[in-house]
C-alpha cells in the first residue's frame, strides 16, 4: 500500500481539449491504487475558495470525449502572492491531501512549483493547445487545435481558389509557433510566419506574386499570433503588391474547443496515470511529459526555465514543399 492516501487535482490557465481525459485518468488511476481523490473547481482560485469535493469513478464518466474541463479553469491573481500560496497549501493540508496534480500550462506549473516549496507534493501535466512547454514533445490539446486549424484552412482553400485570393489565417500559440508550423505543413500553406523565425513581408509578397504568375490559384499564409496580427500582415502584403487580394481569418477560441483527437485522449490518459503513479513513488515538483514516445519526469524549475525547442527542419520542409 502506498504512503499517499489523498490526492487532489485541478485544471488551470487556458483550457485545452483533452483536459477531461487527463482528469479521468488521474481520478481512476488514484482510485485503482486505493487513494482518495478530490477535485478542485476553477483552478487555484477554487483552491483558495475551498471549492474542493470528493470524486468517485462516476464523477468522470462520459467526459473522455468532451472538450473544455468539467473542473473549469480560472486565472487567480491572489495565488500569485506569497500569502495566497501559503493559504492554498494550508487548505490542502486541512484536507490531509498528500499530493496535487496540476493540469495546465507554464503559469500553472509556476504555481505548482511554489506549492511544492511549501511542502505540498505536486505533479504537473502539460494541458495547453500551445505546445510551448519544454521537456515534452507534445502538450495535451495541441493535436486537436492543429486539427481545427487544418480543417478551417481546407475550407478557406475552396473559396480562395475560386477568387485567386490570398488567405491570411491568424492562429493561437502565444509566444510559440508550433500550431502555425504543424497546421501549416499539414495544410500545404505557402507561408508560415512564426515568432521563432524572422521574416520579410516584401520577400513573401514577391514569392506570392511569382507563384500566382506560375499558375497557383490561391495562397495560404498562416501567422502565429506571436509573429504578428493577421490584419497588419494582409495590409502590408497588399502594399508590397497591388496584385495581392488578401482576406483575413482570425480563428481565435474555436481552436480551444471540440472533441479531443484520439492522440490527445491517449496522451492525456497516459500522462494522467503516470502523474498518479509518480506521486505514489514519492516524486514531487515534477512535470510529466512524453519524449520520443517515452513518459518522462523533469523538475518543474527546469521546465519553466528552459525555452521550448522549435523544429527548424520541419519549418524548412514546409517551405520546400509549398513551392
Ligand atoms: P497557463 O497555465 O495556461 O500558462 P496562466 O499563465 O494564466 O496560464 O497561469 C494560470 C494561473 O497559475 C495564474 O492565474 C496564477 O494563479 C497561477 N500562476 C501563474 N504564474 C504564477 C507564479 N509565477 N506564481 C504563482 N502562481 C502563478
Ligand atoms: O494558452 C492558450 C491560449 O489559447 C493562447 O494560445 C492564447 O494566446 C491565450 O490562451 C488566449 O487567452 P484567453 O483565453 O485568456 O483569451
Buried b / exposed e along 116-139 (16+ C-beta atoms within 10 A): beeebbbbbbbbbbbbbbbbbbbb
Same domain as 272, residue 212: no
Burial state string for 162-199 with b = 16 or more CB within 10 A and e = fewer than 16:
eeebbbbbbbbbbbbbbbbbbbbbebebbbbbbbbbeb
- Based on the fold, state whether residues 122 and 229 are members of the same structural domain: no
Q: Is residue 322 part of a domain?
A: no
| Residue 2 pLDDT greater than 90, yes or no | no
**Residue 90 and residue 37 share a domain:** yes
Q: Is the dihedral of CA 140, 145, 151, 153 positive or negative?
A: negative
Looking at the structure, do residues 155 and 220 belong to the same domain, yes or no?
yes
Residues 108 and 227 in one domain: no
Q: Is 216 annotated as a binding residue?
A: yes
Verify that 121 and 213 share a domain, yes or no.
Answer: no
Judgement on whether residues 192 and 276 belong to the same structural domain of the protein: no
Helix (H, G, I), strand (E, B) or coil at 58: helix
Predicted local distance difference test score (pLDDT) of residue 260: 98
With respect to residue 188, please indicate whether it lies within any of the assigned structural domains.
yes
Ligand 2 lined by 175 (C-beta under 6 Å) = no
Is the pLDDT at 53 greater than 80? The verdict is yes
Question: Is residue 15 situated within a structural domain?
Answer: yes
Work out the number of other CB atoms within 10 angstroms of the CB of residue 90.
11
Is position 66 annotated in a ligand binding site? no
Q: pLDDT tens digit string along 118-131?
A: 999 999 999 999 99
Do 216 and 86 lie in one domain? The reply is: no
Q: Sign of the CA dihedral 46, 51, 54, 60?
A: negative
pLDDT band at residue 3 using 50, 70 and 90 as cut-offs: confident
Note down the domain range covering 202.
143-257
Asked whether residue 310 is domain-assigned, the answer is no
The yes-or-no verdict on residue 206 having pLDDT over 60 is yes
Q: Number of folded domains in the chain?
A: 2
Mutate to test the pocket of ligand 2, among 16, 145, 172 (most ligand atoms within 8 A of CB): 172
**Residue 10 pLDDT more than 70?**
yes
Pairing label, strands 166-171, 246-250: parallel
Mean pLDDT on 83-109: 97
Does residue 65 form part of some domain?
yes
Tell me, yes or no, whether 129 and 161 share the same domain. Answer: no
Averaged confidence pLDDT in the chain: 97
In terms of domains, do 57 and 18 share one? yes
Q: How far apart are CA 266 and CA 272, in angstroms?
A: 10
What's the CATH number where 158 sits? 3.40.50.460
**Phi, then psi, of 216 in degrees rounded to 5:** -65, 145
Beta strand segments in the chain, E: 6-11, 36-40, 52-55, 99-104, 121-126, 166-171, 191-193, 219-224, 246-250, 286-291, 294-299
Q: For helices 312-321 and 178-187, what crossing angle results, to 10°?
A: 30
Residue 317 is assigned to a structural domain of this protein: no
pLDDT of amino acid 323: 81
> Any idea what the CATH number is for the domain that residue 41 is in?
3.40.50.450
Q: Is residue 191 part of a domain?
A: yes
Compute the distance between CA of residue 265 and CA of residue 25 in angstroms, rounded to an integer.
10
Distance CA 94, CA 88 (A): 10
What are the tens digits of pLDDT across the range 219-249? 999 999 999 999 999 999 999 998 899 999 9
Q: What is the distance between the alpha carbons of residues 153 and 142, in angstroms, rounded to a whole number?
A: 17
Three-state DSSP at 191 gives strand
Residues 136, 23 within the same domain = yes
Categorize the per-residue pLDDT at 218 as very low, low, confident or very high, splitting at 50, 70 and 90: confident
In a domain, 319, yes or no: no
Q: Which ligand is nearest to the CA of 12?
A: 1
In the chain, pLDDT over 70 holds for what percent of residues? 99
The dihedrals phi and psi of 131, each to the nearest 5 degrees, come to: 55, 40
Q: How far apart are CA 295 and CA 115, in angstroms?
A: 23
Lining residues, ligand 1, CB within 6 Å: 12-14, 44, 75-76, 79-80, 104-108, 110-111, 114, 128
How big is the chain by its Cα radius of gyration, in Å?
22
Composition of the chain by helix, strand, coil, percent to 5: 45, 20, 35
Confidence of residue 96 (pLDDT cuts 50, 70, 90): very high
- Checking if the pLDDT of 23 tops 80, the result is yes
Q: Which residues are catalytic?
A: 130
Say whether 215 counts as a known binding-site residue.
no
73 within 8 A of 42, measured Cβ to Cβ: yes
Assess whether 161 and 113 both reside in one domain: no
Amino acid at each position: 500500500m502506498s504512503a499517499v492516501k489523498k490526492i487532489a487535482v485541478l485544471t488551470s490557465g487556458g483550457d485545452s481539449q483533452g483536459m477531461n481525459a487527463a482528469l479521468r485518468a488521474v481520478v481512476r488511476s488514484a482510485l485503482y491504487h486505493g487513494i482518495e481523490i478530490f477535485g478542485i473547481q476553477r483552478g487555484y482560485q477554487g483552491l483558495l475558495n475551498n471549492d474542493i469535493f470528493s470524486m468517485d469513478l462516476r464523477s468522470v464518466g462520459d467526459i473522455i470525449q468532451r472538450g473544455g474541463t468539467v473542473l473549469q479553469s480560472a486565472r487567480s491573481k491572489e495565488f500569485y502572492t506569497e500569502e495566497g500560496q501559503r493559504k492554498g497549501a494550508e487548505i490542502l493540508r486541512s484536507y490531509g491531501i498528500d499530493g496535487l496534480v496540476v493540469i495546465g500550462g507554464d503559469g500553472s506549473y509556476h504555481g505548482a512549483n511554489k506549492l511544492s516549496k511549501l511542502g505540498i507534493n505536486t505533479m504537473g501535466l502539460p494541458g495547453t493547445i500551445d505546445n510551448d512547454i519544454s521537456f515534452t514533445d507534445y502538450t495535451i490539446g495541441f493535436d486537436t487545435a492543429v486539427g481545427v486549424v487544418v480543417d478551417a484552412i481546407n475550407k478557406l482553400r475552396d473559396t480562395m481558389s475560386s477568387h485567386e485570393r490570398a488567405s491570411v489565417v491568424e492562429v493561437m500559440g502565444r509566444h510559440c509557433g508550433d500550431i502555425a508550423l504543424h497546421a501549416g505543413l499539414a495544410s500545404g500553406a505557402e507561408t508560415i510566419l512564426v515568432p521563432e523565425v524572422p521574416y520579410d513581408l516584401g520577400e513573401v509578397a514577391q514569392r506570392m506574386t511569382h507563384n500566382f504568375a506560375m499558375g497557383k490559384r490561391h495562397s495560404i499564409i498562416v501567422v502565429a499570433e506571436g509573429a504578428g496580427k493577421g490584419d497588419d500582415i494582409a495590409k502590408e502584403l497588399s502594399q508590397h503588391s497591388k496584385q495581392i487580394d488578401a482576406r483575413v481569418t482570425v480563428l481565435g477560441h474555436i481552436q480551444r474547443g471540440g472533441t479531443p483527437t484520439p492522440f490527445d485522449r491517449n496522451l492525456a490518459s497516459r500522462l494522467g496515470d503516470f502523474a498518479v503513479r509518480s506521486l505514489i513513488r514519492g516524486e514531487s515538483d515534477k512535470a510529466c511529459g512524453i519524449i520520443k514516445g517515452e513518459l518522462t519526469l523533469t523538475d518543474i524549475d527546469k521546465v519553466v526555465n528552459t525555452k521550448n525547442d522549435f523544429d527548424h527542419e520541419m519549418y524548412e520542409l514546409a517551405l520546400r514543399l509549398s513551392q
